[in-house]
Amino acid sequence: MKYSIKVILFKLKYVFAFLLFAVAITFFGESSLINRYAQQQEISKLRGEIEAYQRRFNKDNAMLNSLKTDPEALRQIARERYYMKTPDEDIFVIEDEE
C-alpha cells in the first residue's frame, strides 16, 4: 500500500490548517500572543507606577493636613528644609564633598 503525496496531504489537511493557525496567532497581527505578552508587561509596570504615585500622594496629603493643623509641624519643616532659625540661635550646614 503505497500512498501518494496528494493522499497524505489530503488526510493531513486539518493538521496543516491547525499549524498554520497556531503560527498566525502566535506571531502575526496586533493581537498576537507575543504582542499581548508585551502589553501585559507594560500594564503591570504602569500599575506599579500608579501605586507608587498613590502612596506618594497619600504621604504628601497627610503632611499637608498636618501642616494646616499643627504649628509645630510647620516649624519643623521650616527649620529642616529652608534652614530657618529663631533669632537667638545659629545654624551650621554640613555638606558632603561628593
With 80 as the cut, is the pLDDT of residue 95 above it?
A: yes
Looking at residue 43, its amino acid is I
Write b or e for each residue in 75-98: b if 16 or more Cβ atoms lie within 10 A of its Cβ, otherwise e.
eeeeeeeeeeeeeeeeeeeeeeee
The tens digit of pLDDT for each residue in 59-91 reads: 999 999 998 998 888 888 888 888 787 788 887
What DSSP character marks residue 4? P
Reading the block at residue 60, the C-alpha cell is 504628601
Distance CA 14, CA 21 (A): 10
